[in-house]
Structure 1
Amino acid sequence: MEADLPNDVEALRALVLEQARELDALKVFQAEVERLKAIIEALQRHRFGRRSEQLDPDQFELALEEVETALAQAQHAVDKASRASADRPRKANRGSLPPHLERIEQVVDVEDKACPCCGGALHQIGEDVAERLDVVPTTFRVLVTRRPRYGCRSCEGAIVQAPAPARIVEGGIPTEALIAQVLVAKYADHLPLYRQAQIYARQGIQLDRSTLADWVGRAAWYLRPLRDQILERLRRSERLFADETTAPVLDPGRGRTKTGQLWAYARDDRPWGSEDPPMVAYVYAADRKGERAEAHLGDFAGILQVDGFGGYAALARRRQQVSLAFCWAHVRRKFYELAESSPVAAEVLRRIAMLYAIEDEVRGSSAKQRRAVRAERARVIVDDLHIYLAARLRQVSAKSKLADAIRYALTRWAGLTLFLDDGRVELDSNTVERSVRPLALNRKNALFAGSDEGGDNWAVIATVIENCKISGINPHAWLTETLTKLAHGHPANKVGELMPWTAVA
Structure 2
Amino acid sequence: MSFQLTTEKDVERLRQAALLLEAENKRLVARVVELTRKLMSARGQDAEELQLRLQELERQLAQRTGELFGRSSEKRPRGEQDEGKQAGPAEPARGHGPRTQPTLPLLEEVHTLEEPDKQCPECGGALTEMKGCYEEAEEVDVVERRFVLRRHKRQKYRCGCGGCVETALGPPKLQPGGRYSVDFAVEVAVAKYLDHMPLERQVRTMQREGLAVDSQTLWDQIDALARLLSPAHEALHQALLTREILGGDETRWPLLGSKSQTRWYAWALCAPDAVVYRIQEGRDVEAARNMLKDFRGVLMTDGLSTYESVAGKSAGISLVNCWMHARRKFVECAEAFPQANEALDMIAELYAVEREYKQGPENLARLLELRQQKSRPIIERLHQWACEQRVLPQSALGQAIKYMSNRWTGLTRFLTDPRVPLDNGATERAMRGLAVGRKNHYGSRSRRGTEVAALYYSLMETAKLCGVDPKRYLREAALAALRGEALPLPNQLAQPAEG
Q: Aligned partner of 1:488: which letter?
A: R
Paired residue secondary structure (1:337): helix
Alpha carbons 1:366, 1:423 under 8 Å: kept = no
Partner of 1:331: 326
**Deviation by residue 1:331-358 (Cα, 9 ceiling, x = unmatched):** 1001111222322211000000000000
Partner of 1:121: 126
Paired residue secondary structure (1:248): coil
Partner of 2:219: 213
Alpha carbons 2:74, 2:328 under 8 Å: kept = no
Alpha carbons 2:226, 2:456 under 8 Å: kept = yes
C-alpha distance in 1 between matches for 2:335 and 2:483: 61
Paired residue secondary structure (1:250): coil
Match of 1:503 among 474, 493, 498: 493
**Deviation by residue 1:294-346 (Cα, 9 ceiling, x = unmatched):** 22222211110111211111112111221111000001001111222322211
Paired residue secondary structure (1:375): helix
Q: CA deviation at 1:51?
A: 2.5
Unaligned runs of 5+ in 2: 1-69, 79-93
Match of 2:269 among 265, 268, 273: 265
Alignment identity in percent?
34
1:368 to 2:372 alignment:
no
Alpha carbons 1:243, 1:264 under 8 Å: kept = yes
1:304 to 2:299 alignment:
yes
Alpha carbons 2:203, 2:214 under 8 Å: kept = yes
Partner of 1:75: none
C-alpha distance in 1 between matches for 2:367 and 2:221: 48
Q: Larger deviation: 207-216 or 97-106?
A: 97-106
Alpha carbons 1:478, 1:500 under 8 Å: kept = yes
Q: Closer, same or farther in 2 for the Cα pair 1:241/1:183, shift >3 Å? A: same
1:246 to 2:245 alignment:
no
C-alpha distance in 2 between matches for 1:342 and 1:441: 34
Alpha carbons 1:167, 1:484 under 8 Å: kept = no
Alpha carbons 1:187, 1:442 under 8 Å: kept = yes
Paired residue secondary structure (1:249): coil
Q: Larger deviation: 305-314 or 90-99?
A: 90-99
C-alpha distance in 1 between matches for 2:274 and 2:103: 30
Q: CA deviation at 1:233?
A: 1.0
Partner of 1:136: 143
Partner of 2:385: 388
Paired residue secondary structure (1:292): helix
Match of 2:471 among 464, 469, 476: 476
Alpha carbons 1:248, 1:258 under 8 Å: kept = no
Partner of 1:160: 166
Alpha carbons 2:459, 2:490 under 8 Å: kept = yes
Alpha carbons 1:249, 1:258 under 8 Å: kept = no
Match of 2:403 among 386, 391, 408: 408
1:346 to 2:351 alignment:
no
C-alpha distance in 1 between matches for 2:106 and 2:139: 12
C-alpha distance in 1 between matches for 2:153 and 2:381: 77
Paired residue secondary structure (2:282): coil
Paired residue secondary structure (2:303): coil
Paired residue secondary structure (2:256): strand
Paired residue secondary structure (2:320): strand
What is the Cα-based RMSD across aligned positions, in Å? 2.4
**Deviation by residue 1:177-219 (Cα, 9 ceiling, x = unmatched):** 1111111100000011111111111122111100010111111
Paired residue secondary structure (2:248): strand
Instruction: Specify which structure has the higher proportion of helix.
Output: 1
1:51 to 2:75 alignment:
yes
Alpha carbons 1:242, 1:305 under 8 Å: kept = yes
Q: Closer, same or farther in 2 for the Cα pair 1:420/1:157, shift >3 Å? A: same
Paired residue secondary structure (1:251): coil
Match of 1:467 among 462, 469, 485: 462
TM-score by length of 2: 0.77
| Number of positions where the alignment pairs a residue of Structure 1 with one of Structure 2 | 406
Q: Closer, same or farther in 2 for the Cα pair 1:135/1:53, shift >3 Å? A: farther
Q: CA deviation at 1:258?
A: 6.0
Q: Aligned partner of 2:283: which letter?
A: R
Paired residue secondary structure (2:143): coil
C-alpha distance in 1 between matches for 2:251 and 2:330: 23
**Deviation by residue 1:348-400 (Cα, 9 ceiling, x = unmatched):** 000000000001111362222111110111011101211211221xx111221
Q: CA deviation at 1:410?
A: 0.2
Alpha carbons 2:333, 2:397 under 8 Å: kept = yes
Q: Larger deviation: 113-122 or 197-206?
A: 113-122
Matched ranges for 1:53-132 at <5 A:
91-98=95-102, 100-107=104-111, 109=113, 111-124=116-129, 126-132=133-139
Q: CA deviation at 1:246?
A: 0.8
C-alpha distance in 1 between matches for 2:320 and 2:378: 18
C-alpha distance in 2 between matches for 1:53 and 1:235: 41
Q: CA deviation at 1:250?
A: 1.7
Paired residue secondary structure (2:147): coil
1:294 to 2:296 alignment:
no
Partner of 1:194: 200
Alpha carbons 2:254, 2:443 under 8 Å: kept = yes
Match of 2:152 among 145, 164, 184: 145
Q: CA deviation at 1:169?
A: 2.1
Q: CA deviation at 1:116?
A: 2.2
**Stretches of 4+ moved more than 4 A in 1?**
90-93
Q: CA deviation at 1:160?
A: 2.3
Q: Larger deviation: 300-309 or 163-172?
A: 163-172
Q: Aligned partner of 1:457: which letter?
A: V
